[in-house]
Amino acid sequence: MGDHAAKAVLFDALTEGAKALANGRRAELIDVLAQGERSVEELAAEIDQSVANTSHHLQRLLRSGLVKARRSGTRIYYALASETVADLWRAMRAVAEEHVSGLDRLARDYLGDRDSLERMTRDELVKRLRAGDVVVLDVRPAAEFAAGHLPGAISLPVDQLRERLAEVGGGAEVVAYCRGPYCVYADDAVRLLTSEGRAAYRLEDGFPEWAMAGLPIER
């Protein structure tokens, strides 16, 4: 029989990644890094934290092996260590959705009422892309679009959408997508487009789920 003390050390090590993610700001960082590599400064802006606090969280994720880092000049860039890290984050979300009471209310408080928003599944969007009768908007920050996006998507960050609305030309239906099921950018884009009389849909989840499904992406 194996030594129980050795088993305890093993099981402690097996939970290291989960312990590192047991913090909302670090989970936010993983959610952003699932879109692609970002600098510390960009990540700090995305999670509304100081660069010092963001660096502290990133160092914790780095020690746990969940992210990797590289230096370019005076800047340090971080990325997920592997796609398995994104899988872990998706699994944590799924468990929370099934077992954490009040999560629907918390999501509604942040995302607003989604009942009035039209949604499109990945399968339906694949068909519409083949038919060429839909405009796809990537409303994430430009750096995330550059790291990878849906085929033929137009980069139109949500904070620029109102002033660049004329670029969404023609009468075709519009599908907006962003980071995933808890990303508000696509919701905001669909609400704005709908208020302007455009037929608009939100992709059911986001770019990481599209890529994970083995669907084509462009860089």
For residue range 118-145, what is the model confidence (pLDDT) as tens digits? 999 999 999 999 999 999 999 999 999 9
- Domain membership of residue 179 as a residue range: 114-212
Active site residue 183: no
Domain count, the chain: 2
Q: How far apart are CA 211 and CA 217, in angstroms?
A: 7
Pair 85, 132 in one domain: no
Is residue 219 one of the residues assigned to a domain?
Answer: no
Is residue 58 one of the residues assigned to a domain?
Answer: yes
Tell me the mean pLDDT in the region 92-111. Answer: 95
* CB-CB neighbours of 3 under 10 Å: 8
Is residue 139 one of the residues assigned to a domain?
Answer: yes
The CATH number linked to 83 is 1.10.10.10
Q: How far apart are CA 69 and CA 83, in angstroms?
A: 15
**pLDDT at position 129, please?**
95
Is residue 101 one of the residues assigned to a domain?
Answer: no
**pLDDT at position 1, please?**
63
The rounded Cα 59 to chain-centroid distance in angstroms is 21
Pair 86, 123 in one domain: no
Condensed to tens digits (0 to 9), the pLDDT of residues 5-32 reads: 999 999 999 999 999 999 999 999 999 9
Condensed to tens digits (0 to 9), the pLDDT of residues 175-189 reads: 999 999 999 999 999
Q: How far apart are CA 63 and CA 5, in angstroms?
A: 23
Eight-class DSSP state of 2: -
Nearest to 147 by CA among 91, 80, 200, 204: 80
Strand 134-138, strand 119-120: pairing = unpaired
Evaluate the CA torsion angle 61, 64, 65, 66 in order and state its sign: negative
Eight-class DSSP state of 218: B
Nearest to 15 by CA among 81, 70, 92, 82: 92
Is residue 46 one of the residues assigned to a domain?
Answer: yes
Is residue 98 one of the residues assigned to a domain?
Answer: no
Is residue 182 one of the residues assigned to a domain?
Answer: yes
Pair 68, 119 in one domain: no
The CATH number linked to 185 is 3.40.250.10
Is residue 95 one of the residues assigned to a domain?
Answer: no
> Domain boundary at 42, 57, 90, which?
90
Query: Could you tell me if 186 and 175 are in contact, meaning their C-beta atoms sit under 8 angstroms apart?
Result: no
Considering 21, 178, 189, 203, which one is annotated as catalytic? 178
pTM: 0.90
Pair 47, 131 in one domain: no
